[in-house]
C-alpha cells in the first residue's frame, strides 16, 4: 500500500523542523506566501493581456500578414517588460529578506 499515512506526515514535519529550526519556519512560510501572491498576480495579468492580445491579433490576421507581425512584436516587448518587472520584484524580495537573515545570524 503506497498511500501516505498520517505518521509519514508527522515524520516529515519533524525532519523539516529539525533541519530548519522552529524560528526560521514562520519567516520562510511568510516569504513563500508573498512570492506566491506576486506570482499569481503576475500570471493573472499575463493571461488577461494574452486574451486581449489574441483578439487584436485575430483582427489583424483578417487584414494582412504584415499588419499581424506588428502586434507580435508588441507582444514580445510587453513580455520582456513583464519579465523585467518580475526580476525587479524578485530583487526587491531578496533585499528585504537579506536584512532579516543577517539579524537572525547575529542573534544566533
pLDDT tens per residue, range 7-48: 888 999 889 888 888 888 888 889 999 999 999 999 999 998
pTM of the model: 0.35
Length of the chain: 108
Mean of per-residue pLDDT scores for the chain: 77
* Locus of grid cell 512560510: 29
pLDDT tens per residue, range 63-93: 444 444 455 566 778 888 888 888 888 888 8
- Using the Cα atoms of residue 62, residue 63, residue 69 and residue 71 in order, give the sign of their dihedral: negative
pLDDT confidence of residue 68: 45
d(CA 60, CA 21): 57
Amino acid at each position: 500500500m503506497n498511500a501516505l499515512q498520517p505518521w509519514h506526515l508527522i515524520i516529515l514535519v519533524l525532519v523539516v523542523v529539525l533541519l530548519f529550526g522552529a524560528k526560521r519556519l514562520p519567516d520562510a512560510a511568510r516569504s513563500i506566501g508573498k512570492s506566491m501572491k506576486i506570482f499569481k498576480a503576475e500570471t493573472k495579468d499575463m493571461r488577461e493581456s494574452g486574451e486581449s492580445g489574441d483578439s487584436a491579433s485575430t483582427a489583424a490576421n483578417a487584414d494582412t500578414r504584415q499588419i499581424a507581425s506588428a502586434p507580435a512584436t508588441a507582444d514580445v516587448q510587453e513580455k520582456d517588460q513583464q519579465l523585467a518587472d518580475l526580476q525587479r520584484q524578485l530583487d526587491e524580495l531578496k533585499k528585504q529578506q537579506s536584512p532579516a537573515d543577517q539579524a537572525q545570524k547575529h542573534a544566533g
